Amino acid sequence: MSKVTDRLAKKRAEWAKLAETAAAKPAKFGPDIDLTEYVDPADMAEVDTLKSLDKQMREAALYAGVDADETFRSGSYFQVDHTPIYRKVQEAYNGQLEIMSTSEALEKYEWVQDLWWSAVPVDQDKFTAKAELEQTGGYFIHVFAGQKIEKPIQACLLLAESNVSQNVHNLIVIDEGAEAQIITGCTVKNDAAQGIHMGISEFFIRKNASLMFTMIHNWAESFHVRPRSATIVEENGTFINNYILMKPVKSIQMFPSAVLNGDNARARFNTIISGKKDSYIDVGSKAILTGKNTSAESIARTVAYDECAIYARGDLISYVNESKAHLDCRGILFSDKAQIWAIPALAADGAPQAELSHEAAISPIAEEEVEYLQTRGLTKDEAMSTITRGFLNIDIPGLPPALKSYIDHVLDAADKEAL
């Protein structure tokens, strides 16, 4: 047994001991879930190219942001159920980044073991505990110091079988002075499938580094989703998190956080949610400002149809005077059976000069806007859909053209579905 492997075994025992204390601990928010009813799927064979995936998988992955051709990607990771079936760095980017499963990374690097569960507590709740005690994959993405990765890196976590629990733990490290974009998609092969996805993601943005991370969720009506993620941002680091949910889901509960430890660190959360049918959606973001001259922004746009319930949370917490943060949360209800709860929270702890602000609003579409578009030849439904499309189209500064184009594509598809 190598030194790294021997050390990992000891670490695993420590993590498991902590996880066991939280094995029955419910999450602070969202409905509780019985985690004993799920089964193990069959193993999948690895593939040589994403083009070899069957048509149904390729289509599901496409709507979660995955480019099977990989022409416009620097690297890829693809996992089906419990099995990582594909990981590759494009030849032009060899020596600039590495992609592998987190199990491989833990066995390869001691420093990865030191980062494991250092941003997200393993004993946070039953979902983090499950991810440690019964981990079923996850990706490790590491961008080397000083590298500017022009094309996005992509990762996909796909559920193919029904009644499966996917418990992944992801680790993303952007080293000093590096820049990268990551598009990650979570999706299902069969819209009628049932199951649960628990995704632990820990991000480390080093000094002078930046990451734009876009997560697209494309689940099914009978799926439960419980992501747990946290980001540590060092001096002059930048973290931008884009989240998009446009399809029904049984329930989703997540509350990602960014801790701005370094001076001049920055974070921005952009959230776009279209809640349909009886989806239970409890999402938000938390920014914790501890470094001098840190800044954060959280922008959320939510629309609720049918019997959907949406809880949109936003926490801004500052511990230093030289800090500034703003929260902007707006929602539209399209049904008298739907719900939107906007829940902003601001806290300045020992920081009387901190500047924290929020705007939260839930309001209908203005009738005069609909009538104006009708005079231009649109039907009432088309007019309302056009206005909704504009409402959800958040202006995200610095968004690469290709990524903006894809987000527009997702919104357009949702627009047509609403009609």
Does the pLDDT at position 398 exceed 60?
Answer: no
* pLDDT at residue 31 in the model: 94
Structural domain boundaries in the chain: 3-365, 366-419
Tell me what the mean pLDDT of segment 282-304 comes to.
Answer: 96
- Structure confidence at residue 251 as a pLDDT band (50, 70, 90): very high
pLDDT at 1 over 60: no
Average pLDDT over residues 262-266: 98
pLDDT for residue 395: 66
pLDDT at 393: 72
Cα→Cα distances 95→140, 145, 148, 379, Å: 15, 10, 12, 55
Report the pLDDT averaged over residues 219-230: 96
pLDDT at residue 246 in the model = 85
The predicted pLDDT at position 264 comes to 98
Q: Predicted confidence band at 418 (pLDDT cuts at 50, 70, 90)?
A: very low
Tell me: pLDDT of 254 over 50: yes
What confidence tens digit (pLDDT) does each residue in 340-396 have? Answer: 999 999 999 999 999 999 999 998 877 787 777 788 777 877 777 777 767 777 666
Tens of pLDDT, residue by residue over 227-249, are 999 999 999 999 999 999 988 99
Greater confidence (408 vs 317) lies with 317
